[in-house]
């Protein structure tokens, strides 16, 4: 989670549901492990039957949810969460699921998204003397629900919760798991910025941010929870319900480009295939006379893109950079020096692939340009003859309030700059981005949020 411009951004992973036999905790841990790429700062699980118990800690899932602690967590119902890396506020209270007790009953919540109205709602509550234990917008959602419904959580209906979410957070991006006595509910906002999937398995009924989390289960059916839909899971079964007729679907293209696992199917498209297509399109947008000796991916999300680029161009694909999988993400370190150092430690060049070669380096996106700048430096040091930087994301020139951590416009490497100016700044021979029109050939239909590619698009009015 990060706090910037008074906005709280969360880009996380959620997993929960009901297990027919035995405790759900190990299933949640397994699911969260497969969603680890969505958040590496902290992880948490909340399970139980009538009394809910929470285990949450900083760090990766295997560390935060140690088996010795988890084995004491009983119950067939539960929810879990992995949290995106932090900037500023890493208090333990912010780790999810958030659990409260109201009228003698426990209720807990796990949230992926970003509710932009949370700040105002928080202030309104504070003016009437309400306190918050965390700085997370997710706690604001939970408090709002309690204030609106004012009855035991076991009596909350799906329709009441959905109405409260829509009345108060309709401009937000949210996928929410709510764990009430003997029930789990899930909700996806009407825009559908973030994905939400459901699996009916012989082991139970599970909801997750991405279908990759269901791998390994005995799955009968996987269903995408559509925007403005939710699901209610009890021990007797499940029901998917539509809670609003609003039809402003606006899915985040970065789920496909960057966030999600290559193995997932997000918004009905396989992520790996999408990245391959983006790479092919990227090469098709090159000048006719462009050539290079080797195409190198910036791992991990650049991998499929570089394969597609190499297949379309016939430029041989090589690893070129080994990614150190034991490193934290570099993107949201608070200080620039730390971000740069992190990139240097994350990638190790293979000199024999690079020396004397005209390299085309393919990444999913350039945001601040930290990653490309550091990698390009390494390539020159290894004796590259030319270094051409390519991005399958069009130029990112606007901020995002929906949970993608994009800094202020001025910090964006592409903001008000030509390709030549960007190349100079990151030390590349040339730089090119996939044109927006080409991107929209891959992301067909008018259901995508591409605001970050449009410099002048204003932020949606916040009440």
Binding site for ligand 5GP (CB under 6 A): 254, 258, 298, 301, 329, 331, 363-372, 404-405
Question: Rounded CA gap, 261 and 274, in Å?
Answer: 12
Could you say which DSSP state residue 257 is in?
I
Tokens of 359: 């390299």
Closer to ligand 5GP by CB, 40 or 136: give it: 40
Give the SS3 label for residue 322.
strand
Tell me which of 12, 47, 164, 250 is the catalytic residue. Answer: 12
CB proximity list for 128: less than 8 A, separation 6 or greater? none
Tell me the helix, strand and coil percentages in the chain, rounded to 5: 30, 25, 40
Closer to ligand 5GP by CB, 169 or 453: give it: 453
Closer to ligand 5GP by CB, 133 or 322: give it: 322
Task: Look at strands 98-102 and 430-433 and give their pairing.
Answer: unpaired
Cα four-point dihedral sign 56, 58, 60, 62 = negative
Q: State the minimum distance, in angstroms, from the CB of residue 404 to ligand 5GP.
A: 5
Q: State the minimum distance, in angstroms, from the CB of residue 323 to ligand 5GP.
A: 10
Q: What are phi and psi of 460, to 5 degrees?
A: -60, 140
Per the annotation, the verdict on 47 as an active-site residue is: no
Q: State the minimum distance, in angstroms, from the CB of residue 249 to ligand 5GP.
A: 21
Nearest to 226 by CA among 243, 201, 202, 205: 243
Closer to ligand 5GP by CB, 90 or 411: give it: 411
Q: State the minimum distance, in angstroms, from the CB of residue 42 to ligand 5GP.
A: 17
Closer to ligand 5GP by CB, 52 or 112: give it: 112
Q: State the minimum distance, in angstroms, from the CB of residue 386 to ligand 5GP.
A: 20
Give the SS3 label for residue 109.
strand
Task: Look at strands 183-188 and 105-114 and give their pairing.
Answer: unpaired
Tokens of 371: 């990653």
**Which residues partner with 186 through β-bridges?**
177, 231
Positions marked active-site? 12
């Amino acid at each position: 989670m990060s706090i910037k411009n008074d906005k709280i951004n969360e880009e996380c992973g959620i997993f929960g549901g009901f297990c027919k036999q035995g405790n759900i905790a190990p299933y949640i841990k397994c699911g969260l492990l497969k969603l680890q790429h969505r958040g590496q700062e902290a992880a948490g699980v909340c399970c139980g039957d009538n009394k809910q118990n929470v285990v949450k800690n900083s760090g990766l899932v295997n560390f935060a949810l140690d088996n010795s602690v988890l084995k004491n967590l009983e119950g067939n119902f539960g929810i879990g969460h992995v949290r995106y890396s932090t900037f500023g506020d890493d208090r333990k209270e912010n780790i999810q699921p958030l659990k409260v007790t109201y009228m003698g009953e426990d209720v807990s919540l796990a949230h992926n998204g970003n509710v932009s109205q949370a700040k105002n709602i928080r202030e309104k509550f504070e003016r009437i003397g309400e306190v918050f234990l965390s700085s997370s917008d997710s706690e604001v959602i939970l408090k709002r629900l309690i204030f609106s419904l004012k009855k035991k959580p076991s009596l909350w209906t799906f329709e009441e919760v959905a109405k409260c979410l829509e009345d108060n957070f309709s401009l937000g991006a949210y996928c929410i798991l709510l764990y009430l006595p003997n029930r789990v509910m899930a909700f996806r906002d009407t825009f559908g910025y973030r994905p939400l999937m459901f699996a009916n398995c012989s082991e139970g009924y599970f909801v997750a941010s991405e279908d990759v989390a269901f791998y390994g289960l005995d799955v009968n059916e996987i269903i995408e929870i559509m925007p403005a839909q939710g699901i209610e899971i009890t021990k007797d079964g499940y029901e998917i319900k539509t809670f609003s007729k609003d039809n402003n679907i606006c899915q985040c293209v970065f789920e496909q480009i960057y966030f999600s696992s290559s193995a997932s199917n997000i918004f009905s498209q396989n992520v790996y295939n999408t990245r391959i297509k983006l790479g092919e399109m990227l090469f098709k947008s090159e000048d006719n006379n462009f050539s290079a000796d080797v195409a190198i991916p910036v791992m991990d999300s650049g991998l499929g893109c570089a394969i597609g680029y190499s297949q379309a161009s016939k430029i041989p694909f090589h690893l070129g950079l080994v990614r150190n999988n034991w490193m934290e993400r570099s993107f949201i370190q608070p200080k620039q020096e730390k971000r740069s150092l992190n990139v240097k430690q994350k990638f190790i060049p293979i000199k024999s692939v690079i020396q004397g070669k005209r390299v085309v380096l393919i990444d999913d996106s350039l945001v601040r340009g930290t990653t490309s700048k550091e990698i390009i430096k390494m390539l020159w040091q290894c004796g590259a003859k030319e270094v051409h930087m390519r991005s399958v994301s069009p130029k990112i020139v606007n901020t995002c309030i929906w949970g993608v951590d994009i800094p202020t416009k001025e910090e964006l490497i592409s903001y008000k700059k030509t390709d030549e100016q960007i190349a100079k700044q990151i030390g590349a021979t040339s730089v090119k981005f996939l044109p927006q029109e080409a991107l929209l050939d891959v992301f067909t239909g008018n259901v995508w949020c591409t605001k970050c590619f449009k410099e002048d698009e204003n932020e949606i009015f916040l009440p």
